[in-house]
A = this chain, B = another copy of it.
């Protein structure tokens, strides 16, 4: 893995926040840095500490040093996922130390090959996973996490592809065993994974897909699912009304009480998969305590009940599989299958919106407010949209002390660029 470039105190002009520097004397006390024009520096999103949006800013960092077996990529676009919000709050298992550069997936052009790297050439268009450090102009990552992208796939699509489609594919076809005629329930059906799940289900005959999503998204995504419920509706009753025997697969990114509900909705031999815990991402100021509380409130499962009911419960974390559990070769095989489906035009990433690195706060707020339909992309070459009178940056900063950020629709006009 690339060693992190040394952090520099220099920030892009737009992002200078003197009050942040007061709180972070250690960072501001770093030694004199090269000038902004120095080619050894790059722009990157930096998380100075775990907490609210104000912990994020764009900073100049020293370029990562290419290691043996790695590929250096000039980044074009980065994927923004719900897990990035959990990282920002420190709501993950064994969080790394801050300051850090967030982000786990990106697309771009191969710039340099480390010793021992085969199968790639300088100039190749690629997408890649990286264990942090993705939201930057340059990224180094081991070659086993890098995949060539088809000619007709844009960089934005390629940055939207790896996390969501590999997660969806692995859950449906590796952990569960989706087959003809089965039924699937997916939460956050309008999100990146939700849309990938819906598309992959459509590659199998006669699969019924139930989804929950905020009502304002229904018109935009209704063609991708069989049945769509409001995220605040009693989806258990809705599903049972349509399919009294329950469903074969429940994909849950919410956790909490939804685990029990999901298990209850399974048919015999059905599989419940927990792949996230977005209900644990709390209002900006509540993070740690609320998280601990939520953690203990998770319903634990009695194996004997699974035995009596013939049910399966699984957890799926792609990041752990890649970076802690060494399953890159398996993922490579899955990616090959996914790219075949893409070339057959059976799947296609749905991009919600493009944001400059400097707009990362607004982008995160949009995910937090569940305003997105499909994937949010950080476009490294994009110029930030000028702030407007009703700009969301001020809203979100002002809202940091609020109990919760609810309401799905009121932030729709925030985003500067919607595809």
Chain A residues with a Cβ under 8 A of chain B = 93, 174-175, 177, 255, 259, 268-269, 271, 274-277, 295, 298-317, 320-321, 325, 327, 330
Contact = CB atoms under 8 A, between A and B. Distances in A.
B310 A268 contact: no
Contacts of A327: 268-269
B310 A313 contact: no
10 contacts: A259-B303, A268-B320, A268-B321, A269-B321, A276-B307, A295-B304, A300-B301, A301-B301, A308-B320, A311-B314
Given A312-B313, A325-B268, A304 B320 contact: no
Contact of A93 (B93, B268, B308): B308
Contacts of A320: 268, 308-310
A315 B306 contact: yes
A306 B275 CA distance: 9
Given A268-B320, A269-B327, A321-B269, A175 B312 contact: yes
A269 B304 contact: no
A26 to B, nearest CB: 30
Nearest to A305: B315
A196 to B, nearest CB: 18
Interface of A is mostly: mixed
Nearest to A313: B313
Contacts of A317: 307-308, 310
Contact of A300 (B274, B276, B277, B302): B302
A327 B327 CA distance: 35
Nearest to A252: B303
A302 B298 contact: yes
Nearest to A275: B307
Given A310-B325, A313-B313, A316-B310, A304 B268 contact: no
For the complex of A and B, the 7 pairs showing the least CB-CB separation, nearest first, are: A307-B315, A306-B315, A300-B300, A312-B314, A268-B325, A301-B301, A274-B303
Nearest to A173: B177
A307 B274 contact: yes
B314 A306 contact: yes
A278 to B, nearest CB: 12
